[in-house]
């Protein structure tokens, strides 16, 4: 190539360089991250397969091959990333996390099943927890259904009653005269304190647990609904009244919509508090649910089962919170979004 003909091409390269270089840089980075993540998961498989387990835990090979499969997917995603494709983009965004998890799992496998540095039987290896999911899922599934049912019933009941009490406190003086002192006395009491009484006062420990979860949920919902209704801009009422609004209109079309943002704060507080009561009630009385499973596993020193139940429990709780966020974002869609859960 002569010097003269090369010059314009070179000029173009120079002009394009920053943008192209940035894109290339981004691609190589994404691909490299995916390959490192694949390596981390191959390391997990290697650690599991290369050395024999110190104890008797199932599902080692399965976890190893699952890790290899994940590594294969990561290699494909790395190759795609290198070509600039955005397929498997969600996986690409997760690669830093997958690297970290691969390293943690490798270390966990080595430290527990292979070297015994982690005290046994308290810290079983990951593939022992996998065994719980693969072999004990009927019992685990049953527990999830029981917990979800108990939580949903108690929460819905508490939220409905709390909301009603809050609105009435905000709008009716007579209701406030009788209910406010009761709310002040009983509300701050942790619902768990009722537990011994509730279990014999109610026909079943199940209905007692629903009552306790509802009580825990209801208090913050009532207080925040009340405060929401009480702090409605009085001009909102004036405007509606001059436009011919009835009392019912003032409650349903002014007070309640205006208070809804506060009501949701109460619902979030109530939901968080209700989880504690749910687990406690299941451990102490109801012979079903994840809390019961957890305690049963502890009785048998089945530590892998406890970790599995803990994982499922946190997934359940976070799902409840996510759903409530979804509902809130939908109901309060007129507001500018403030927080992404």
Residues that bind another protein (CB under 8 A): 233, 235-236, 238-246, 249, 253-254, 257-258, 260, 332, 334-336
Query: CB–CB of 170/226 below 8 Å?
Result: yes
Choose between 154 and 166: whose C-beta lies nearer to another protein: 166
| Cα torsion 295, 298, 303, 305: sign | negative
Choose between 229 and 313: whose C-beta lies nearer to another protein: 229
Choose between 134 and 246: whose C-beta lies nearer to another protein: 246
| Shortest spacing between CB 336 and another protein, in angstroms | 7
| Cα torsion 66, 69, 73, 79: sign | positive
The span from the CA of 75 to the CA of 48, in Å, is: 20
Torsion angle defined by CA atoms of residues 195, 196, 202 and 203, in that order, rounded to the nearest 10 degrees: 120
| Shortest spacing between CB 259 and another protein, in angstroms | 10
Query: What is the b/e burial string over 146-171, where b = at least 16 CB atoms within 10 angstroms of the residue's CB?
Result: bbbebbebbbebbbebbbebbbbbbb
| Shortest spacing between CB 158 and another protein, in angstroms | 24
Choose between 32 and 258: whose C-beta lies nearer to another protein: 258
- Both tokens assigned to 122: 């308290």
Query: CB–CB of 212/282 below 8 Å?
Result: no
The span from the CA of 72 to the CA of 312, in Å, is: 27
Choose between 5 and 333: whose C-beta lies nearer to another protein: 333
| Shortest spacing between CB 245 and another protein, in angstroms | 4
Choose between 49 and 250: whose C-beta lies nearer to another protein: 250
């Amino acid at each position: 190539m002569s010097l003269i003909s090369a010059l314009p091409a070179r000029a173009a390269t120079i002009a394009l360089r920053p943008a192209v270089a940035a894109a290339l840089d981004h691609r190589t980075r994404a691909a490299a991250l995916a390959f490192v993540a694949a390596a981390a998961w191959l390391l997990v498989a290697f650690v599991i397969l290369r050395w024999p387990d110190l104890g008797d835990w199932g599902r080692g090979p399965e976890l190893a091959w699952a890790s290899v499969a994940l590594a294969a997917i990561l290699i494909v995603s790395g190759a795609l990333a290198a070509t600039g494709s955005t397929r498997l983009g969600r996986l690409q965004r997760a690669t830093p996390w997958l690297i970290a998890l691969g390293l943690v799992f490798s270390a966990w496998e080595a430290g527990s099943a292979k070297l015994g540095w982690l005290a046994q039987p308290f810290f079983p290896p990951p593939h022992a927890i996998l065994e719980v999911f693969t072999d004990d899922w009927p019992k685990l599934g049953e527990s999830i259904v029981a917990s979800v049912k108990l939580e949903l019933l108690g929460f819905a009941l508490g939220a409905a009653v709390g909301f009603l009490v809050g609105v009435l406190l905000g709008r009716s003086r007579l209701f406030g005269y009788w209910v406010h002192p009761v709310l002040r006395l009983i509300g701050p009491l942790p619902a768990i304190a009722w537990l011994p009484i509730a279990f014999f006062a109610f026909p079943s420990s199940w209905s007692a647990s629903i009552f306790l979860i509802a009580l825990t949920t209801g208090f913050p919902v009532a207080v925040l609904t009340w405060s929401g209704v009480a702090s409605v801009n009085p001009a909102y009422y004036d405007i509606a009244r001059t436009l011919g609004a009835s009392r019912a209109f003032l409650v349903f079309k002014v007070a309640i919509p205006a208070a809804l943002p506060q009501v949701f704060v109460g619902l979030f507080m109530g939901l968080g508090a209700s989880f504690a009561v749910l687990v406690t009630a299941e451990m102490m009385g109801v012979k079903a649910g994840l809390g019961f499973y957890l305690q049963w596993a502890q009785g048998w020193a089945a530590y892998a089962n406890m970790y599995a139940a803990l994982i499922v429990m946190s997934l359940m709780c976070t799902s409840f919170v996510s759903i409530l966020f979804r509902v809130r974002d939908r109901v309060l869609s007129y507001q500018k979004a403030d927080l992404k859960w």
